[in-house]
Structure 1
Amino acid sequence: MNRRTLLLSAAALAMAGGMAQAQELSLNEVSAYLNQLQTAQGGFTQINGDGTLSTGQLYIKRPGRIRFEYNAPDNSLVMAGGGQVAVFDPKSNTPAERYPLNQTPLNIILERNVDLGQASMVTNRVSDGTTTTITAQDPANPQYGNIQLVFTANPVELRQWIVTDEVGDQTTVILNDLTPGAAINDAQFNIQSEMSRRGG
């Protein structure tokens, strides 16, 4: 599985039934929610483009840091820190794949100051009465793909993101019990330290 696809493709939520009707969220409300979400952790289930599933733990520490720890049998690790993304595949004999975080749509929600109201960033916003889905892209580099963010209201919560990469590939990541305010050590996002630990 291409881990770059995780950060450049899609994430979706298995929504529980019976949710109360929720109003459509404004871009200002969503931006404010993301800006106050300094740290968060929770489980995730990833639905890959070929229909296979992966599970693991997710850690977010804004700005610019995220970590995906995959459960067995995958046991891979994807982390972003210091402006870079690194993909560690225990089955590979090659060093970690690295590339700039700002070339992934996920960078949009990891920015220090999220402003979804800026020109040409949001290309679509829809509500089904339960969720609000916002499609966003880097207005300066739309060729990097886009991210669909799905939120519920009362209170505002991020329930899924759907990222489409530069060639149209998608991956789905379901967020499970994303808990804000978690105490997360900066060392969990240190790519160089992880490479040294693995002898890379």
Structure 2
Amino acid sequence: MKRVIAPLILALTAAPFALPVAPVAAQQQPSDLSQVNAYIRAVTTMTADFSQTDRNGQTLTGQLTLKQPGKIRFQYQKGVPLLIVGDGKALTMIDYEVRQVQRWPIGNSPLGALIDPSKDLSKFGKVIQTGDPNVLSVQARDPKRPEYGTITMIFNRDPSAPAGLQLYGWVALDSQNNRTAVRLSNVRYGVPVADSAFRWVDPRPKGRAPGG
């Protein structure tokens, strides 16, 4: 199990991301970047099923819950003693098997591009050509902090979705060449999400997380 989980942690906290398509020259398209900005700002809440596959082909599933700004939860399938929660300021990884808790500022994570509506993708994002007009891929990274990683978000164009885009998932490749792909399904927008969804029980001997 640890061999599956470890690449994911790297992907969520400080991992360069890459799109799994044949190499094609990247081209800046401000209108597409603006559309992705509009999508991120339009999504106030979202739930989805996710499937996360590492470079060895091992797959975990679970449920993703998002609430802007900055709140996200990865609840893994039964039997996986791992929880990842973003509370608006930091990402926390809780490993209930070994009773460990680790935290990273959301700004240090490539996920910040997805869960921070104040970010302007035109300043740190670029469009990656996919060869399919119905698929939009945007790569985002902080050029001043390359160690924080890069996220390539993949969208399907859908007029009925927020800002005309449906988030399909993202792909990660960390500095150690660990590749992790996250695919979403059963995506629902605007659903009621309580702040309590982003609390968690601290497995360490002293008890619960602050506010948990």
Q: TM-score, normalised by structure 2?
A: 0.77
Identify which of 162, 165, 170 aligns with 2:171.
162
Instruction: Give the structure 2 partner of residue 147 of structure 1.
Output: 151
Letter aligned with residue 156 of structure 2: T
Q: Distance in 2 between matches of 1:11 and 1:79?
A: 23
Note the alpha carbon deviations across 1:20-63, whole angstroms, 9 max, x for none.
xxxx9711111101110111001000102332110000001111
Q: Tell me the equivalent position of 1:34.
A: 40
How many equivalent pairs are there?
A: 185
Return the alpha-carbon distance in structure 2 between the equivalents of residues 175 and 165 of structure 1. 20
1:97 counterpart (97, 102, 110): 102
For residues 68-108 of structure 1, the C-alpha deviation after alignment (integer angstroms, 9 at most, x for no partner) is 00012214211011411111122113x31112111111111
Is 1:109 matched with 2:114? yes
Decide whether the 8 Å contact of 1:64 with 1:83 is kept in 2: yes
Three-state SS of the structure 2 residue aligned to 1:5 is helix
Structure 1 unmatched ranges of 5 or more: 14-23
Q: Give secondary structure in 2 for the equivalent of 1:26.
A: helix
- Please say if residues 56 and 71 of structure 1, whose CA atoms lie closer than 8 Å, have aligned partners that are also in contact: yes
Over the matched positions of the two proteins, sequence identity in percent amounts to: 28
> Residues 134 and 5 of structure 1: is their aligned pair in 2 closer, same or farther, counting only changes over 3 Å?
same
Cα distance change on mapping 1:129 and 1:168 into 2, 3 Å: same
Matched residues in 1 for 2:115 and 2:172: separation? 14
Q: Which runs of 5+ in 2 are unaligned?
A: 21-29, 160-164
Q: Is the 8 A contact 1:12 1:173 kept in 2?
A: no
Task: Give the CA deviation at 1:166.
Answer: 4.0
Runs of at least 4 residues off by over 6 Å? none
Q: 2:129: which partner in 1?
A: 126
Aligned equivalents of 1:173 and 1:11: distance in 2?
Answer: 12
C-alpha distance in 2 between matches for 1:85 and 1:143: 16
